[in-house]
Structure 1
Amino acid sequence: MRKGEPSRTAFGAAALRAAHQEAAEPRIFTDPLARRILGEAELPHQTWSQPRLRLFIAVRHRFAEDSLAAAVARGTRQVVVLGAGLDTFAYRNPFDGTHVFEVDHPDTGAWKRERLAEAGIEVPDNVTYVAVDFERDSLAERLADAGFDAAQPAFFLWLGVVPYLTDEAVRGTLAVIASVPDGEVVLDYLKSVEHAPAEAHADRATLEAHVAEVGEPLQPGRDTATVHAMLRAAGFDEIEDIGRREIRERYLGLRPGEADGDAHVVRARVTGVSRP
């Protein structure tokens, strides 16, 4: 983060979502506002040269919003977008009666509101912005100040953030989510590149170099057992985790193959039901 500027990785993720709308590949996720929120600038070259990353970002949003639809059907009415960046869910939200809390660093949030105004994207009445400096502020306190009801169910979208955070920061946020009744979250994580097929190694190296160059380096990869242990320790008792095999079969109509891949997206929920 540079003062007064948005996260560079947030801009890159929005560019990849926008490119997915235009690329010659299976349409996994539709985001008609992704291009508008970026303005008229040409999409960076990286958005076209990394189709694997572009598809994964589309999958993580599709998986998250499908999971949210199921939560809303069960009665959840609070949606929290953590590290909202240039995410556009709040402005194309199809779920009547829900309230969306967009949580991000003050500089990113302010820049985003400027971009929304410039792009003519209307901010619905059911959207609340929550400015949180995660190095200084309490997420739970900032949410409460913004009108979030911690005694009611909530669904948290936490995409494109965990790979940049320390274990301590991840555990702290998971504790807040798990303290909410029927709290549910979708997040993504990266494993060590050794788990990826050979053709993905160059993509990972390119990603790591790019985000380090803009001052937002990735943390070391976490294996699935570690991530699941963190979730269970926080209190989540229902976990659904999809990697390369599940993505190929579920979203691309391909054979799963043998390689697990290095990028995963996981849904975790606190149901209060004990599982073995």
Structure 2
Amino acid sequence: MELLDHKLKVAPTAALVLLQSRSLYDSGLAGRFYDGIDFGDIQELSSGIQGAWPHFTTVVLYRKRFIRHLLETHLQDGRPVQVVVLGAGLDPISLYLMEHHRTAITGIFEVDAVHMPDKSSLYARLLPGEPALHFIQADITDTLHLLEKLRDAGYSTEHPAIVIFEGVVHYIADELFLNTMQLFRTPNKTNLVLMDYMLPPHKVPAACRPVLLELKARIEKFIGEITYQYERQQIFRMVELLHGDVAGVDSLQDIEFKLNGRNELFYEDGEGFMEMIAFYL
């Protein structure tokens, strides 16, 4: 089935991570979704980052595989939940959920400031008439309107939700993160947030710092903005300010071991520059 007469050209920032994770989506609905994306403009940047840090693709894949791992864990409770994907971009996690966990989900709400009409069009051709999928074009930091737009799309604050916040916190300041997450607080902490964060240079091994600094500089030059890094205690403090409870936190070496049963690339705290956390709100 042809998705579009012409492949969809997207912003390089969205296509970069999407390209790295293509091997996770080489079949099924998501594989057909990838066939509708034009990656031509991102090949040079991708090659440059790979040259600076050969493990870049591996870390992106670990991040996405671990999100799946956490979803598998928390979608087994028996009670269907809502899924909110903030800063959804073009990642096809919703297609994966539709194929593998449809009965565990009452609705999926994808939110981003760009790409939502195009993504909705692509999805409509793959899953015509699917009532669980909702696409909301909105700034996730616009807290005056975000919750209203979610509700208009069918999101209910009375029912539990899993909030996926992957690859986003690097691009927003801590106060914006706190303001956005406030919208998902519940009296009984029934919502779960899954997210990753990048570590600051002083929290990575000395031998790894030049690579981290070069990678950070390349990305910041490309996007024209600074990025934000956090150490674990800072993340814990923000969860505390939100009156949340940490469900689990994993370094990249923890993630590699849990996914593969062994460590082959990452052995020391801070290697890979990333950690992941799940917390209840």
State the TM-score, normalized to the length of structure 2.
Answer: 0.78
Q: Give the whole-Å Cα distance in 2 for the aligned partners of 1:145 and 1:34.
A: 27
Q: Report SS of the residue matched to 1:229.
A: helix
User: Which structure 2 residues correspond to residues 172-211 of structure 1 after superposition, within 5 A?
Assistant: 172-179=179-186, 181-198=189-206, 200-211=208-219
The residue aligned with 2:38 is: 39
The residue aligned with 1:62 is: 65
The residue aligned with 2:84 is: 80
Q: Report SS of the residue matched to 1:73.
A: coil
Shift of 1:209: 2.8
After TM superposition, the runs of 4+ consecutive aligned structure 1 residues lying more than 4 A away are 19-22, 114-117
Is it true that 1:257 corresponds to 2:275 in the alignment?
Answer: no
Q: Report SS of the residue matched to 2:159.
A: coil
Question: Which runs of no fewer than 5 residues in structure 1 stay unpaired?
Answer: 23-30, 271-276
Q: Give the whole-Å Cα distance in 1 for the aligned partners of 2:234 and 2:145.
A: 25
The residue aligned with 1:110 is: 117
- Cα separation, partners in 2 of 1:129 and 1:55, compared to 1, 3 Å: same
Q: Give the whole-Å Cα distance in 2 for the aligned partners of 1:233 and 1:70.
A: 26
One-letter amino acid of the structure 1 residue matched with residue 63 of structure 2: R
Greater shift, 255-264 or 50-59, is seen at 255-264
Q: Report SS of the residue matched to 2:157.
A: coil
Is it true that 1:127 corresponds to 2:119 in the alignment?
Answer: no
Shift of 1:215: 2.7
Q: Report SS of the residue matched to 1:226.
A: helix
Shift of 1:43: 6.1
Q: Give the whole-Å Cα distance in 1 for the aligned partners of 2:24 and 2:32.
A: 12
The residue aligned with 2:101 is: 95
Q: Give the whole-Å Cα distance in 2 for the aligned partners of 1:168 and 1:40.
A: 34
Shift of 1:269: 1.7
Q: Give the whole-Å Cα distance in 1 for the aligned partners of 2:180 and 2:65.
A: 23
State the TM-score, normalized to the length of structure 1.
Answer: 0.80
Q: Give the whole-Å Cα distance in 1 for the aligned partners of 2:32 and 2:277.
A: 25
Shift of 1:19: 5.5
Is it true that 1:244 corresponds to 2:252 in the alignment?
Answer: yes
Q: Report SS of the residue matched to 2:76.
A: helix
Q: Cα RMSD between the aligned structures?
A: 2.8
Shift of 1:7: 4.8
Q: Give the whole-Å Cα distance in 1 for the aligned partners of 2:112 and 2:65.
A: 21
Q: Give the whole-Å Cα distance in 2 for the aligned partners of 1:222 and 1:162.
A: 9
- Cα separation, partners in 2 of 1:91 and 1:205, compared to 1, 3 Å: same
- Cα separation, partners in 2 of 1:267 and 1:61, compared to 1, 3 Å: same
In the alignment, is the contact (CA less than 8 A) between 2:12 and 2:42 conserved in 1?
A: no
The CA deviation string for residues 57-111 of structure 1, in whole angstroms up to 9 with x for no partner, is: 2122222222222322212420111100011011222112311111111x32124
- Cα separation, partners in 2 of 1:37 and 1:143, compared to 1, 3 Å: same
Number of residue pairs matched by the alignment: 255
Is it true that 1:143 corresponds to 2:150 in the alignment?
Answer: yes
Q: Report SS of the residue matched to 2:115.
A: helix
Q: Give the whole-Å Cα distance in 2 for the aligned partners of 1:21 and 1:134.
A: 26
- Cα separation, partners in 2 of 1:209 and 1:37, compared to 1, 3 Å: farther
In the alignment, is the contact (CA less than 8 A) between 1:100 and 1:127 conserved in 2?
A: yes
- Cα separation, partners in 2 of 1:223 and 1:243, compared to 1, 3 Å: same
Q: Give the whole-Å Cα distance in 1 for the aligned partners of 2:224 and 2:152.
A: 29
The CA deviation string for residues 26-79 of structure 1, in whole angstroms up to 9 with x for no partner, is: xxxxx6457435336486242554442222221222222222223222124201
Q: Report SS of the residue matched to 1:232.
A: helix
